[in-house]
Amino acid sequence: IQYFASIAAAGGAGKKDSGKGSLEDQIIQANPALEAFGNAKTLRNDNSSRFGKFIRIHFGTSGKLSSADIETYLLEKSRVTYQLKAERDYHIFYQILSNEKPELLDMLLITNNPYDYSYISQGEVTVASINDNEELIATDKAFDVLGFTAEEKMGVYKLTGAIMHYGNMKFKQKQREEQAEPDGTEDADKASYLMGMNSADLLKGLCHPRVKVGNEYVTKGQSVDQVYYSVGAVAKSVYEKMFN
């Protein structure tokens, strides 16, 4: 990547577009953003890549580098909601909670304590070789260089915050029924707000999903375990689609 970035700059492809960095900068700065959302601490590596990456380089008619795009594939969705004791969730969660940008905590309706969020605190929450404060600055700068609008950047942060709230949603079994119901709505309200959804609709979809039977749709009840499985599935799907 560094080689192609250098060639781009030498060939005049480093000219900046309004509102974003040069092609050289964009090629290099793609890494901090990808690593924030796709790298995590594992047993053997503090900064292990958990995604596949395919870089496509485009050349103009003159043979000079004209553009580049990267296709990514998150290979470990399960890490979003579960980690081994000596491992950690994806770096972005801890970067946000580092309090380097307090305005993010306010916007996402979260504290700076990782242990307040069950999805990201099952293993380690700090890594000696990684400064989450500095990494958040690098990630945020990478978004700007890559040409993200302020709205797009805030949208990514909001989805990340919503996932943390998803992990704190609680459900209980209705009396004399094998049917789950919400045990409070505070975290569902926060997650829904960040995702631009209606909280009641979210909870209804989790506890009483509509399924297709033949040519018709019917509403079915779910047990507490089934609802928690659905919550985790939604959280992992949101993260995967956001990353890819």
Give me the helices (H) in 50-126, please.
Answer: 91-97, 102-108
The full DSSP string for 195-244 is HT--HHHHHHHHHS-EEEETTEEEE----HHHHHHHHHHHHHHHHHHHH-
> Which amino acid is it at 45?
N
pLDDT at 24 over 80: no
pLDDT at 13 over 90: no
Tokens 């799907």 belong to which residue? 237
Q: Which of 47-51, 90-94, 195-199, 201-205 has the lowest mean pLDDT?
A: 47-51
Q: Which residues contact 141 (CB under 8 A, 6 or more apart)?
A: 29, 32
CB count, 10 Å around CB of 47?
14
Burial class (CB in 10 A: 0-12, 13-18, 19+), 118: middle
Domain ranges of the chain: 2-168+236-243
pLDDT at 17 over 60: no
pLDDT tens digits, residue range 38-81? 999 999 999 999 888 777 777 778 777 677 777 777 989 999 99
pLDDT band at 222 (very low <50, low <70, confident <90, very high): very high
pLDDT at 19 over 70: no
Q: Which residues contact 42 (CB under 8 A, 6 or more apart)?
A: 48, 87
* Average model confidence (pLDDT) across the chain: 90
Mean predicted confidence (pLDDT) in 16-35: 70
Q: Which of 7-11, 112-116, 181-185, 217-221 has the lowest mean pLDDT?
A: 7-11
What is the pTM assigned to this prediction?
Answer: 0.86
> Measured between alpha carbons, how far is residue 144 from residues 151, 202, 239 in Å?
11, 32, 21
139, 32 Cβ separation under 8 angstroms: yes
Backbone angles phi, psi at 238, to 5 degrees: -60, -45
pLDDT tens digits, residue range 143-186? 998 899 999 999 999 999 999 999 999 999 998 888 999 999 99
CATH class entry, domain 2-168+236-243: alpha beta
Mean predicted confidence (pLDDT) in 207-228: 94
